[in-house]
Amino acid sequence: MPPKVFDCLAYLIERHERAVGRDELVAAVWGKTEITDTLLGQTILKARRAIGDSADEQKAIRTIPRFGYAWVADLADDAAVSEPASVPAADLQSVQKPRGFRRIAWLSAIAALAAIGVLWIHARFGDRDRDARISASGSAAVLPVEVSAPAEWSWVRLGLMDAVASRLREGHQPVIPSDNLIAVARSGADIGHAPDVRSATGATLLVAPSATWNDSGWSVHLELLGNGSPIAVDARNVDVLLAGREATDRLLVRLGKMPPADAADPQQWSDAKLLQRVEASLLTDDLDGARRLLQSAPESLQKSPEYTLRLAKIDFRAGEFEAAGRRLRALLAEAPVESDPVLRARVLNGVGHVAMRLGHADAATVAYDEAASLLEDRNEPAELGQAYMGRGIAAQTAGRYENALADFSRAHIAFELAGDGLALARVEANEGMLDAARDQYATAAAALARAARRFENFGTLNELAMTTSAEIGAHLALLEPSDALVASDRAWPFLERLSNPRIARALAINRALALDANGRRREAVTVLEKVAQQADPEREKTVLAVARAERARIALASGKAEQAIDLALAAVPVLEAADEPRDLMTAWLVAVRALRAVGRTKDAAEQTAALGEWARSHAQPAATLYANLAHAEQQAAERQDARPEYDRTLDLATRGNVPADTAEVAISYGTMLLATRDLERATAVIGQAARWTDRDLGCALLQVRLYSALGQRQAWQHALEAARALAGDREIPEELTVFVDGSLPAAP
């Protein structure tokens, strides 16, 4: 056992003749008095667990309210205790019991707030006795119940479904979470069709329930479908949930598992039945119905933690985050760690989710930290996964990418153990977005594509759209325009069905970028203009600014410099305040280039200086790269020797290993070198972009310029044909379409 746990046991046993005060115990074991009540409570909890005691029984360590603890179990004389076999010190580690998730290796988020939202929206508050061996590969999916009863029993369809799933899980049968099945149903898939359910959820077993009511009560039938012969069980009871429980227990026995014990108190069963109806309402997003059911609860239930937790959950899903936070903080004060650590962890996860929604990442981290520490040694993978996921999102929000990656990896394992495919998709989406934030676009694209396929199977359209937007960006950064368009095509048909308008705008903007990169510029402009018309100018300022920046880029490329100036300069201050480095650099660089194109060199110099100042104050790689590029271009425009600055910028781009960045610098630098007739250096620089000439129009046109400058007619002709094949409805500069031997095309 951990040293502090052993020390607590030893100290209490040595002073078994009296109670030991909290401060005395803390000072003796930790050598200080400033430790938290949570840490002390955890240590006592582990000490009790190590000797087969619990907070409920207190047969060995008794809590003395408002004072401390006392050892109350009988003690044997030392001489009567047999000597244990000695263990060599070198072998101690090999015989220690593994400590759950703490031994998981550090393997190697979307909008983070949206991920936090769905994380708690779909999390169950029950399911507290899951076996640690749960895995998606052996999980069962419980289908919605076929109900033959009057209309007032409609809640049984999902309520009994969830009750059967929970009962199976308590009996140590791995089960797919109910919200996963509901998501599949909402996708339009036939959840009565076994291959669809298995494909979407990863389940290997299906449980098909039916419930029939008549004057004598309820008949519940469960049929288990797997690779072998079906298993069917039946039960009858006047209460539908009791009939379902009896049938489920019989199914567990047929599976060779022990049904869990039940509380004998009829009131507890009545309370559980009402809470199950609340869960059914929440599964169908009927928040008002769930709240009404809770309002009808007896006073005994209203005083329970489960009641308050569900009210907080309803507040959270209704967007009433402050109200949810008040309920949870009050409940936290009534949930001491030693009496029910899992309950406290569930409340802490809720506190963390609320804090993230309110923009308090540091407070969320504290809550998730404590929740994770309470759950790491318990068989609660789903709840532990929430703590890791939330803490990872908080770390990502704060720019602590290594911490975020570690927690996402831990969450991935936890949700695998819980058999929660939907939560796994969310983890993968956040891992992909984290990779993108670190400019690791190849791994980002792969992770995002996997997550998008999962979301598509589950029919979770907002998450599909968010993930697809990020995937499009990753493919464009890799100069993979066709892959970006394929990704866009996956989510675009669902645009009108998205419930979150900001997610819809983000998808539209990224769709426009994919269209433009594939030579469908007119369509791209139409999409961007529609975004500008539909976005709320007050609530969606950043969205509008990004759309303006992209319209400015297209306008400049189409020879409309004045329009580009207006659009780009309108976008810059908004993106500057929003701290969006790449979008800001796009807008600012377009503005500077457009100002020079119309002869406003002094204004361009001022904007270049402002861009550089912003980049120095933020010290972000993308900002530094594009600020250096803008400075090099300004030097070249002012007839200074820009090659040293270009060389530094190109080196920075190649070390960053983002193809779009390298191509951007190479196109600018190569064009300058051709204009100054430095053909030897131009050939070396342009060669760095040659690998993308078959998919990027800018790189292809640079190749055309080079061959023309070198007087290579045949190579020029082939390069021009390749560029035309890529261009689509994008214009190719007229001077590049005429070969004049030995002359250089004019710089753009």
Compute the half-sphere exposure of residue 633: CA atoms within 13 Å on the CB side of its CA.
32
Check if the beta carbon of residue 131 is closer than 8 Å to that of residue 379.
yes
**Residue 67 and residue 184 in one domain:** no
Q: Is residue 733 part of a domain?
A: yes
What is the number of residues in the chain? 748
Last residue of a domain, one of 259, 274, 307: 259
Torsion of CA 273, 279, 284, 289, to 10 degrees: 70
Tell me the residue type at 211.
A
Calpha distance 638→602 (Å, rounded): 10
Backbone angles phi, psi at 239, to 5 degrees: -105, 130
Q: Is residue 673 part of a domain?
A: yes
Question: For position 228, what pLDDT does the model report?
Answer: 74
Contacts of 416 (CB under 8 A, 6+ apart): 135, 136, 424
Tokens (6 digits) for 269: 């069963």
Which segments of the chain have a pLDDT < 50?
79-111, 121-137, 264, 744-748
Nearest partner of 68 among 26, 21, 5, 32, judged by Cα: 21
**Residue 136 and residue 33 in one domain:** no
Over the stretch 45-94, which tens digit does the pLDDT of each residue have? Answer: 888 888 988 877 888 998 887 678 899 998 876 544 333 333 333 332 33
**Residue 76 and residue 154 in one domain:** no
Tokens (6 digits) for 272: 């559980």
Last residue of a domain, one of 30, 51, 85: 85
Q: Is residue 136 part of a domain?
A: yes
Give Cα 147 distance to the centre of its chain: 36
**Residue 146 and residue 251 in one domain:** yes
The reported pTM is: 0.70
Last residue of a domain, one of 85, 104, 122: 85
Q: Is residue 166 part of a domain?
A: yes
Q: How many domains does the chain have?
A: 3
**Residue 144 and residue 239 in one domain:** yes
Question: For position 191, what pLDDT does the model report?
Answer: 60
**Residue 77 and residue 150 in one domain:** no
- Which three-class secondary structure state does DSSP give residue 284? coil
**Residue 682 and residue 744 in one domain:** yes
Q: Is residue 186 part of a domain?
A: yes
CA angle 70, 74, 79 (to 5 degrees): 120
CATH assignment of the domain containing 221: 3.40.50.10070
Give Cα 561 distance to the centre of its chain: 40
What is the b/e burial string over 590-629, where b = at least 16 CB atoms within 10 angstroms of the residue's CB?
bbbbbbbbeebeebbbebbebbbebbeeeebbbbbbbbbb
CATH assignment of the domain containing 75: 1.10.10.10
Q: Is residue 41 part of a domain?
A: yes
Kind and range of the H or E element at 219? strand 217-225
**Residue 140 and residue 255 in one domain:** yes
**Residue 143 and residue 234 in one domain:** yes
CB-count exposure of residue 740 (10 Å: 0-12, 13-18, 19+):
exposed
Range of the domain at 735: 657-748
Question: For position 109, what pLDDT does the model report?
Answer: 33
Question: For position 134, what pLDDT does the model report?
Answer: 31
**Residue 135 and residue 243 in one domain:** yes
Calpha distance 468→281 (Å, rounded): 30
Q: Is residue 721 part of a domain?
A: yes
Question: For position 36, what pLDDT does the model report?
Answer: 72
Tell me the residue type at 324.
A
Calpha distance 368→53 (Å, rounded): 27
Q: Is residue 701 part of a domain?
A: yes
Contacts of 558 (CB under 8 A, 6+ apart): 521, 731
